[in-house]
């Protein structure tokens, strides 16, 4: 069973996907994403794979008849895709050459263009979960794409905040954030010609880096060829810096935020919403997890247990080690 259920307290939809409980436990000596598995091409560099157990589907089942006029339900319409980064089972994003990551960026753009043709899809969300600490059971390097037919609440909030700021200031909110960070300097971890990576002033994760485009860009498909190369470069550098921080594979949730599609209610978002990547790394030290506990989850009262400026300094030192290691 897969359906959407309306939460009247938050005015948001919950995805109910109980069929995902039936996902099989993969044998330790077999991976469906490796060449030779019979599930993927024997020869690929990057590859789109339709999720075998999707939470959202373009042919969704009819919702269970347990709702009411008050407790609304809707079809779990959308698309769930797996994006394979490499045929090499033990590679990570940071270990892939920049030229290879550029091919991944091109595939993201290709899938964005294709999914946006479905007028029922409102937001195309690119993301990666890495590490057992965030529940990953498949170590093969991969990310995912969700095409949502209902705009999730957090994305609505970002869009609304950006629109309100633009109306009040005639300025993009993240362009302003970039200026603040450039002025202060101490939270910037790295930058290249087209992108910058910094710990935002307000981050609730000790090592929660944002990557933002320096020029105002709304979607990944708006990047020039040079910007796509620069994006591949900074993705490699940020994830490599994470691995250098504690000298071990670093877990994270990577989320790519960009403009919506097929959403007339957000007319003009190209002017006020700005492409960026948000990282949520669950470590607060080498061996300690930063948990989202009762106050964070129950009240949405974010709490960062570390000084942002101090952890920014740690990350800059890790970035130097990453650069020295890769000379």
Residues annotated as catalytic are 142
For residue 257, the cross-strand partners are 276
Q: What 3-state class would DSSP assign to 22? A: helix
CA distances from 272 to 64, 158, 207 (A): 39, 10, 27
Tokens of residue 45, six digits? 């560099």
Residue 85's contacts (CB-CB under 8 Å, 6 or more residues apart) are 46, 91, 93, 96, 104, 141, 142, 143
CA distance 54 to 62: 15
Residue with tokens 């994305």: 155
Q: Rounded to an integer, what is the distance from CA 304 to the centroid of its chain?
A: 20
The DSSP H or E segment spanning 124 is strand 123-130
Tokens of residue 176, six digits? 């302003």
């Amino acid at each position: 069973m897969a359906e959407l259920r309306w939460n009247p307290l938050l005015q948001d939809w919950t995805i109910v996907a109980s069929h995902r409980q039936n996902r099989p436990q993969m044998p330790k000596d077999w991976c469906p994403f490796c060449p030779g598995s019979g599930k993927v091409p024997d020869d690929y560099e990057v590859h789109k794979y339709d999720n075998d157990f999707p939470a959202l589907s373009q042919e969704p089942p009819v919702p269970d008849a347990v709702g009411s006029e008050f407790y609304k339900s809707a079809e779990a319409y959308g698309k769930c895709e797996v994006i394979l980064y490499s045929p090499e089972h033990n590679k990570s994003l940071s270990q892939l050459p920049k030229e290879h990551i550029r091919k991944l960026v091109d595939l993201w753009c290709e899938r964005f263009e294709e999914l946006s043709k479905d007028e029922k899809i409102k937001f195309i969300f690119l993301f990666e979960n890495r590490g057992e600490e965030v529940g990953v059971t498949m170590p093969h390097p991969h990310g995912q794409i969700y095409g949502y037919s209902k705009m999730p609440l957090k994305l609505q909030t970002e869009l609304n905040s950006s629109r309100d700021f633009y109306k009040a200031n005639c300025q993009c909110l993240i362009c302003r954030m970039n200026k603040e960070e450039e002025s202060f300097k101490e939270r910037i971890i790295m930058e290249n010609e087209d992108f910058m990576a910094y710990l935002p002033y307000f981050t609730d994760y000790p090592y929660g880096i944002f990557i933002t485009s320096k020029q105002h860009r709304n979607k990944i498909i708006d990047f020039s060829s040079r910007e796509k190369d620069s994006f591949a470069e900074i993705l490699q550098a940020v994830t490599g810096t994470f691995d250098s921080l504690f000298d071990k594979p670093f877990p994270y949730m990577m989320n790519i935020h960009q403009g919506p599609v097929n959403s007339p209610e957000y007319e003009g978002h190209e002017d006020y919403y700005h492409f960026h990547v948000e990282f949520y790394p669950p470590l607060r030290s080498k061996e300690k997890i930063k948990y989202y506990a009762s106050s964070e989850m129950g009240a949405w009262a974010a709490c960062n247990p570390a000084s942002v400026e101090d952890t920014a300094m740690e990350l800059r030192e890790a970035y130097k080690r990453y650069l020295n290691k890769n000379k």
